[in-house]
Structure 1
Amino acid sequence: MKDARILIVDDERAIVEMMVTVLRKEGFSHIDTVFDGEAALAACAHTIYDLVLLDVTMPGASGLEICPFIRRTTNAPILFLTARTSDFDKLSGFAVGGDDYITKPFNPLEVVARISAQLRRYMQAKPQEPFSVRIYDFGRFQLNESEATLTVEGQIAHCPAQVYQLLLFLCRHPNRIFSKSELFERVWGEELYHDDNTVMVHIHRIRERIEIHPSKPRYLVNVRGMGYKLVLPGKEAGNDS
């Protein structure tokens, strides 16, 4: 994990320098830095990153604006850095492809801990045995665990890291019902306290990719009062939306 390649994007050079210093002290050595959105897009076009630390408010294109373009080229975790603290801003970050949302001012050691957690999940999703292929086939879509790819009707569908992790977990446990708190604990590795928006947003993002009509799901369905399950083809869903 320490050999992961990280991109830091922030127009505040003091923050960039601080994060580089702390990350290097923690053993990360492959760190690139840029200071605006256009440079970030150029960097991602030429280099495959394992994680992107992305500021929201920058001169020119904002982090929220460039995130969807970065997401088209990678499933790597994207962590937003921002001074905005409202729930709407956080949900906006998740909606455009982000995996975590860190508000300024922040403790740099906490950011490193979140980076490490995201990288650990991302690296675990990568194939460990190059000659072992594990494909979950649901007819309309297939998830290739060995290549960490989602294919929908023959076309690759790019997924943010946490969306992929949630879908992978559900593919590994088809037709089993999980509550929102169970999904949060099993996929995010944390307890779900007062806000279940994270799970709901990621469920919606999965449906946008795998369902013909996301508002009337056939595959990732809600079982009223119990939770969610991913239905294998040929099984009755019992869909409540």
Structure 2
Amino acid sequence: MSIPPVMTEFERFIVELTSAAAEVTLPFFRSDIGHVDKGGAAGFDPVTEADKQAEAAIRKVIAARYPDHGVIGEEYGEDRPDTEFVWVLDPVDGTRAFIAGLPLWTTLIGLRHNGRPVVGAIAQPYLDEVFVGGPSGGQLISRGGSRPLKTRPIETLNDAIIATTDPAIFTGSELGAWTQVRAAARLARLGCDAYAYAMLADGRIDLVAESGLKVWDWSALVPVIEAAGGEVTNWRGETPDGSGQILAVGDARIRDQALVTLKRAAL
């Protein structure tokens, strides 16, 4: 995989991290690997050895290169989360897709500087794709080389392609809000996990709305989508926060239209 020379040090490093994770995850994908349900009474929430080993591999590379940086990861928790630079890791986002053999799972890696996401990567190693966003812009790096990422302009929600992982993630008022947004849109796609955000950055999808997300679920998405020309907010139209409600759009005009409904269910 050829890394564009214009990329900054951290952008180049984040691509290295996705490669380190891919070396671990790919041998497990579509294998006879088992999984453990960590959800308990809250519902099915699988984790695999691919999740654990990939995060361990990413942390090892970070510690070797930037030992003063902090890390927040889904599998192994927080290590100096209040330092100037903090890496936020979701080694396998979309574990359900992973264990079902669907190539829609991703590795999410974000870098926060003083609490703000500044570099991000959405990687799908089975498809050999890494969507990167940061100071040098947005890039899709794949076996065919690299090219810029750009969201597409769209004036009205009626013309939009929208996505969410599963309407079951929404609670009562949230589900009502999503249903209204979906009814207004041209087309809705489900089950794509974080790959939907990659497609938004690449100008294929126009809006993604989700709820119940943790910091490792969305930190990597923000720089990628912003570098491509889009925006990521909570359901109040503000900077993403602990509410877990995320709205990503390629064009601010449909953000405002969707928020008319989503704000009524905002936390």
Q: Which has the higher contact order (CA 8 A, sep 6+)?
A: 2
Shorter-chain TM band: 0.3 to 0.5
Using structure 2 for the length normalisation, give the TM-score. 0.30
Using structure 1 for the length normalisation, give the TM-score. 0.32
